[in-house]
Amino acid sequence: MHGLRVKAEERAAPDPSVSRSRVILPPGSGLSSVVRFLLTRDAYRRFVKPVIADMQHEYIEAIAAGETWRARWIVVLGHLHIVPGWLYGLAARAIKRIFTA
């Protein structure tokens, strides 16, 4: 009885011309998760999410234009631009805790 098992000789050899693909996350995805954990939902939505969205949009445009170095620079600047939003969000969270306690 053969069933679903396949003998080693019957397995197809991997095609060397086919490369394995992998999912590449857009820049700012990991940082977004961390900042979303630290801030309130409203603070994240108001101060950080627009900056990350702009960074990702500009990054994709630069990659599409073949400007790899510009795309890398956009990621660096985008991460730096998140800092003020993150600080505003932390301040908003602290104020919210003070007045709701």
Tell me, yes or no, whether 6 lies in a domain. no
Q: Indicate the number of domains in the chain.
A: 1
User: Tens of pLDDT along 64-83?
Assistant: 999 999 999 999 999 888 88
Rounded mean pLDDT, 11-21: 64
User: Tens of pLDDT along 90-100?
Assistant: 888 788 888 88
Q: Rounded to whole angstroms, how far apart are CA atoms 63 and 88?
A: 31
Tell me, yes or no, whether 15 lies in a domain. no
Q: Rounded to whole angstroms, how far apart are CA atoms 52 and 75?
A: 9
- Give the global pTM: 0.65
SS3 at position 56: helix
Tell me, yes or no, whether 14 lies in a domain. no
pLDDT score at 11: 58
Q: Which domain holds residue 38?
A: 26-100
User: Tens of pLDDT along 18-50?
Assistant: 667 778 888 888 888 888 888 788 888 988 899
